[in-house]
Structure 1
Amino acid sequence: MRILLAEDEADLNRIITRKLTSDGYCVDSCYSGSEAIDFLETVDYDVVILDIMMPELDGYGVLRHMRNTGKSVPVLFLTAKDSVAERVRGLDSGADDYLTKPFSFEELAARIRVMTRKRFDISVNMLQVGDLMLDTVSHTVKRGENEITLSVKEYNLLEYLMLNKGIVLSREKIEDHIWNFEYEGGTNVVDVYISYLRKKIDGNCQDKLIHTVRGRGYMIKEKV
């Protein structure tokens, strides 16, 4: 999933970005509210994490802009403001969650998973397509009884396909959600990683799960 992090404390920003990236998320980070809006006007994020006290435009202003422009992406406020009144204000202003500093990264990761489940209308951390199972907590993947080892990007791509089971995803949409602005790879990167996944997921299996829809993109679905 692709996450936008807006946090003006440089050290904390780097730590959170590094942790989320190591957990397999694609992260764009910035340090002010105005930068956050610039990112939001370019990319359709899956989760947005906002500090409240930021220069130029605070987190409330960013959230207000998002909701006024029709962006329904889940938002988590990450802030040192820990009073009940501030938490109520944050949630009433349209945020989906509110986490106060200091915090544990395990809790942050769990809250992101909750927001992701809501966004994709799923109720559990286990995704399934046919006999293919993906655990979003442990990041383990199995097809039948066989555990499959994936790279971080292969896992990210598979998770995104499974979250959108039965939906055709264009190459552009996949690239926007799996790679951030720092990526400088080739233009056929999606095709390359789809090929990697096919070898590991479908291999010699009779029932193929990953499908190409000519002229439109890729999708994952079980045999009907």
Structure 2
Amino acid sequence: MRYLLIEDNEKLAGAIVERLVLEGHVVDHAAQISMAHEFAALADYDLILLDIMLPDGDGRTFLNHQREKQDDTPVIVLTARSEVSDRVSVLDLGADDYITKPFDFSELEARCRAVLRRRRGDGTNTKRIGDVTFDPMSGLLRVGQTEVSLRNKEMRLIEIFLNAPDIIFAKSKLVDRLFSYDEDVSENAIEVYVGRLRKHLNGSNVQITTVRGMGYRLSVQ
């Protein structure tokens, strides 16, 4: 998953980024609203973590802007305000959830998973297609009776495909979803990770096929 973190407290932001990266996510960090707008214009995010009190304004203006332009990217607000009226205001503006500072990182991760499940209409974290099952919590891919422990980038790539079966993903789109701006990678890296996933899926009725000139598609054969 690719996250946008909008938080001006460098220590807190660093801790959040470190924790999410360890979970295998890609995280872009903006310390100001102006920077957040630039990031949001350049990339598609699976989830936005939004602080309210920022150096160049109120984070709610960013949230309102996103919703006014019909951007429905899930947003979790990080707030030090515990008053009910403050929480209600961000939810009314279109936030999907909020968490009050200080918070435990495990709770933040759980809220992220819950918001993403609700957006997908999933009741559990486990994803199934054909005879393949994937648990993003453990990183285990089950093909028939065989279990494989995936590496971080493999985990995120299979998750992208499983969330949108039969959809064609261009290499450039996958690079955007798997790597942050400060990672200098080429589209050849996608070929490597797709190759690894194909080996893991060998023997199943689920395949990642190449659509010439367009990209890759995961489907049940």
TM > 0.5 fold call:
yes
SS at match of 2:54: coil
The 1:121/1:176 distance shift into structure 2, 3 A limit, reads farther
Q: CA RMSD in A?
A: 1.4
Deviation at 1:30, TM superposition (A): 1.5
Structure 2 residue corresponding to 1:217, chosen from 182, 190, 215? 215
Letter in 2 for 1:146: T
| TM-score, structure 2 as length reference | 0.95
Deviation at 1:173, TM superposition (A): 1.6
Match of 1:139 in 2: 139
Residue 190 (str. 1) matches residue 160 (str. 2): no
Give a deviation string over 1:155-207, Cα, whole Å, max 9, x none: 110111111112111112211111110110223111121112112222xx163
Q: Contact 2:80–2:101 (CA<8 Å) still a contact in 1?
A: yes
Q: Contact 1:7–1:32 (CA<8 Å) still a contact in 2?
A: yes
Instruction: Tell me which stretches of 4 or more aligned residues in structure 1 moved more than 4 Å.
Output: none
Letter in 2 for 1:134: F
Give the Cα separation in 2 of the matches to 1:182 and 1:201.
31
Deviation at 1:105, TM superposition (A): 1.4
Give the Cα separation in 2 of the matches to 1:138 and 1:52.
32
Give the Cα separation in 2 of the matches to 1:209 and 1:199.
10
Deviates more, 1:63-72 or 1:113-122: 113-122
Deviation at 1:118, TM superposition (A): 2.9
Map 1:80-159 onto structure 2 (within 5 A): 80-159=80-159
Give the Cα separation in 2 of the matches to 1:180 and 1:120.
23
Letter in 2 for 1:103: F
Deviation at 1:213, TM superposition (A): 1.5
Give the Cα separation in 1 of the matches to 2:43 and 2:161.
18
Give the Cα separation in 2 of the matches to 1:47 and 1:147.
29
Give the Cα separation in 2 of the matches to 1:214 and 1:121.
32
Deviation at 1:111, TM superposition (A): 1.2
Deviation at 1:139, TM superposition (A): 2.3
Structure 2 unaligned spans of 5+: none
Give the Cα separation in 1 of the matches to 2:58 and 2:38.
14
Q: Contact 2:132–2:204 (CA<8 Å) still a contact in 1?
A: no
Letter in 1 for 2:109: A
Q: Contact 1:73–1:119 (CA<8 Å) still a contact in 2?
A: no
Match of 2:200 in 1: 200
The percentage of aligned residue pairs carrying the same residue is: 38
Deviates more, 1:113-122 or 1:30-39: 113-122
Equivalent residue pairs, number: 221
SS at match of 2:42: coil
Q: Contact 1:148–1:201 (CA<8 Å) still a contact in 2?
A: no
Match of 1:173 in 2: 173
Deviates more, 1:51-60 or 1:214-223: 214-223
Match of 1:18 in 2: 18
Q: Contact 1:128–1:134 (CA<8 Å) still a contact in 2?
A: yes
Give the Cα separation in 2 of the matches to 1:130 and 1:208.
6
| TM-score, structure 1 as length reference | 0.94
Letter in 2 for 1:186: S
SS at match of 1:8: coil
Q: Contact 2:131–2:206 (CA<8 Å) still a contact in 1?
A: no
Map 1:70-89 onto structure 2 (within 5 A): 70-89=70-89
Letter in 2 for 1:95: A
Give the Cα separation in 2 of the matches to 1:217 and 1:197.
15
The 1:130/1:101 distance shift into structure 2, 3 A limit, reads same
Match of 1:31 in 2: 31
Q: Contact 1:80–1:101 (CA<8 Å) still a contact in 2?
A: yes
